[in-house]
Amino acid sequence: MKGFNFNGVLAIYRWEMARTGRTLWQSVVAPVITTSLYFVVFGSAIGSRMQSVDGVAYGSFLVPGLIMLSLLTQSISNAALGIYFPKFTGTVFELLSAPVSAIEMVIGYVGAAASKSVLIGLIILATSALFVPLRIDHVWAMLAFLLLTALTFSLFGFIIGIWADGFEQLNVVPVLVVTPLTFLGGAFYSIKDLPEPWHTVSLFNPVAYLVSGFRWSFFGKGDISLGWSLGFIALFLAACLGVVVWIFRTGYRLKS
């Protein structure tokens, strides 16, 4: 039985991580600046009128939502770009013929995308501490949510990168789907404050479960039960894994 090609995985991982260094401004600096602007605008304009949400200062309440917004978009974008460029340049055929299995390829690309997203999430968390007082009631739960979300949506981004036929399609899901769902999923407010029928409608927003679970890890409070939040992540992760298995079995948009 063929052993695990650690060197092959490490080569893909290092190449993708090096790309972050080449695009440092876009990859790291831009999200930090954007987060700072959110605190200046939302914290000053809205925070002056909304002192607290469920007993949590509004500025602090924003932090999990802002991290989740960056985490979702960065995870998808990093993984999608990572696999799309080999397709675009034609080097994906060399990769498919190399002594690297499908699972090793996925680990390399998705692992790098998730690592970058987690790093950005932690940088945003540190940046937030410069603007608002922070507390994290469940540190290990916060790190687990951070890692699971980054892995799941990096896997989702990997799928988008394979599906995309052009650079325009790479941005369709992050810009037109994920970002609006995050804004409508309680990232900047509590969905419990929404009147009916919008409160019920928000429960069909999958991102609301991620934001709620992540916020619970900070303050011990969430709009949706922790079990439902974990259940959604597990279900979506399983679905993404199923799609990736199907892609490599059929060669969908990889061998054509």
> How far is residue 186 from each of residues 29, 53, 63, 223, measured CA to CA in Å?
25, 12, 12, 8
Kindly state the greatest CA–CA separation across the chain.
64
Distance CA 103, CA 244 (A): 9
Q: What is the mean pLDDT of each run of 10 residues along the chain (256 residues)?
A: 78 86 73 78 68 82 89 89 84 79 89 92 88 89 93 93 85 83 86 85 88 93 90 92 89 74
- Res 89: pLDDT: 80
CB under 8 Å to 255, separation ≥6 — which residues? 93, 96
| Cα–Cα distance for residue pair 107/37, rounded to 1 Å | 34
The model carries a pTM of 0.89
- Listed in sequence order, the residues at least 6 apart from 141 whose beta carbon sits closer than 8 Å to its beta carbon are 216, 217
Task: Find residue 52's DSSP bridge partners.
Answer: 57
Query: What is the pLDDT, as a whole number, of residue 118?
Result: 93
